[in-house]
């Protein structure tokens, strides 16, 4: 017999919620490894005087590599939290604090990536702002684009961790 009372299904289990974090951690980890390798390759080209850059490129290369390295640390911390068998607030706090530090450092690299894309072939300090006539290498364009994508994924990951930890309390 139908009593007319509808019951709501129970919420998602804690394990299923943590799978959402793992879905975001996989592309963050892959992009971070690519960015670290790409930063190393562009630094090597820069020191061999093969690479032509604009005024924002050295700062982008200086911040993109460490930001990606911190992102790898955040992926490891987040994976330990998501794959852990116990619901520990310490693991969650560790994952969130590492993610916040990574996100803050990534925002700086994001700013330089946007600035490099905005400048293009021009100099920031040249009053005529004439085109250099030389195209930026694809390595720097890829580094700039991947850094922007990485920071957007990190933003989603930080928000997801906030939601997971708020729901567990």
Domain annotation covers residue 27: yes
Predicted confidence (pLDDT) at residue 44 exceeds the cutoff of 90: no
Domain annotation covers residue 101: yes
Q: How many domains does the chain have?
A: 1
Q: Can you give the residue range of the structural domain that contains 162? A: 14-168
Domain annotation covers residue 7: no
| Residues β-bridged to residue 122 | 131
Q: What is the pLDDT of residues 53-89, one digit of tens each?
A: 677 888 888 899 999 999 999 999 988 888 876 667 7
Domain annotation covers residue 5: no
**Mean pLDDT over all residues of the chain?**
80
Domain annotation covers residue 144: yes
Look up residue 113 and give its two tokens.
């990536």
The size of the chain, in residues, is: 169
Residues 35-43 have a mean pLDDT of 89
For the chain, how long is the longest CA-to-CA vector?
82
Contact residues for 68 (Cβ-Cβ < 8 A; gap 6+): 31, 32, 33, 35, 36, 39, 147, 150
Look up residue 91 and give its two tokens.
């693991």
């Amino acid at each position: 017999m139908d009593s007319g009372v509808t019951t709501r299904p129970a919420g998602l289990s804690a394990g299923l919620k943590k799978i959402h974090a793992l879905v975001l951690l996989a592309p963050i980890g892959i992009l971070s490894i690519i960015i670290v390798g790409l930063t190393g390759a562009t630094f090597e080209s820069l020191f061999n005087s093969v690479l032509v850059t604009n005024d924002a490129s050295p700062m982008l290369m200086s911040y993109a590599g460490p930001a990606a390295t911190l992102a790898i640390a955040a992926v490891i911390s987040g994976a330990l939290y998501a794959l852990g068998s116990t619901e520990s607030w310490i693991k969650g706090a560790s994952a969130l604090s590492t993610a916040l530090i990574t996100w803050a450092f990534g925002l700086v690299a994001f700013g330089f990536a946007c600035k490099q894309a905005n400048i293009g072939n021009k100099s920031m300090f040249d009053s005529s702002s004439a085109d250099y006539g030389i195209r930026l290498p694809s390595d720097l364009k890829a580094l700039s684009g991947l850094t922007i994508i990485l920071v957007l994924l990190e933003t989603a990951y930080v928000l997801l961790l906030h939601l997971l930890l708020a729901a567990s309390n």
